Amino acid sequence: MIAYLFYTKDSPGEDEMQRLAEELRRSQVDSELVEADSPHGIALSENYDVVVRPAVVLATTDGTQINQWQHDLPGASDISYWAHR
């Protein structure tokens, strides 16, 4: 599993996503910080229909989406629950 953490550069959401990435690391959930306006971020946003930031997409290693949260994000424990199911 991987949690894609979408944020907008130089916004309050960027700090929030960095904290969440650290909490997920401690929960043994792989995560990737994704600047949503970068070419990679745009491609992932289109693939997972991310339209609001911050957002989290939890996906399997083959890219299958397991869950998604946009704007109102869950805590690391909720994401970890879904990742370890």
Residue 62 has pLDDT above 90, yes or no: yes
**CATH (residue range 2-83):** 3.40.30.10
Instruction: Give me the mean pLDDT over the 45-63 stretch.
Output: 95
Euclidean distance between the first and final Cα of the chain, in Å? 10
Give the CA diameter of the chain.
34
pLDDT at 71 over 90: no
d(C-alpha 46, C-alpha 76), whole Å: 24
**DSSP, res 62:** T
Domain layout of the chain by residue ranges: 2-83
Tens of pLDDT along 4-47?
999 999 988 899 999 999 999 999 999 999 999 999 999 999 99
| pLDDT for residue 54 is more than 90 | yes
Full-model pTM: 0.94
